[in-house]
Amino acid sequence: MVALSKDMKEILAKNKVMPMATASKSGVPNVAPMASIKLVGDDTVWIMDNYMVKTLANLKENPVVALYFYDPDSKRCFQLKGSTEIKTSGPDYEEFRDQVRTKGHKYPAKSLIVIKITDVFECTPGIEAGKKVL
């Protein structure tokens, strides 16, 4: 099991918007900004689907994602990869849906993307860049 370190979790928490990369079954890439994000434990990230179109289509064909997060103060950055599950009902979906909807009616909270982290890579420029750290 991959478990984010305290340092990684702190950096992730600083990010209000994160780019998430997906790819279709045939390999066509897509990158979109994600803002409704919640770290759940050491190995799971929740993302609420408010406006996903290409991203959601890709996830239905190919459940693998990559997220990038960056700390502007320390200049540290990481990429995490994981497998996803799409939920449109159940206690996890309802809990996060209700949290997201407190931000306003413009957030439809259509589905919950549950990311189980499988790998973490160093992105900070230097000799360790690209190194798998988890």
In the chain, where the domains are located: 6-122
| Burial label, 22 (beta-carbon count in 10 A; 0-12, 13-18, 19+) | buried
pLDDT over 70, % of the chain: 100
- Quick one: tokens of 65? 């994602």
Superfamily of domain 6-122: Electron Transport, Fmn-binding Protein; Chain A (2.30.110.10)
pLDDT reading at 1 higher than 90 = no
130: left (phi over 0), alpha (psi -120 to 50) or beta: left
Model pLDDT, residue 105: 82
Average pLDDT across the chain, whole number: 95
Model pLDDT, residue 108: 93
Highest mean pLDDT among 66-75, 84-93, 98-107: 84-93
pLDDT per position as a tens digit, 2-59 = 899 999 999 999 999 999 999 999 999 999 999 999 999 899 999 999 999 999 999 9
Strand ranges inside the chain, DSSP E: 18-23, 29-34, 37-40, 44-49, 64-70, 77-87, 111-122
Query: Could you tell me what percentage of the chain is helix, strand and coil, using 3-state DSSP and rounding each to the nearest 5?
Result: 20, 40, 40
pLDDT band at 111 (very low <50, low <70, confident <90, very high): very high
Model pLDDT, residue 104: 83
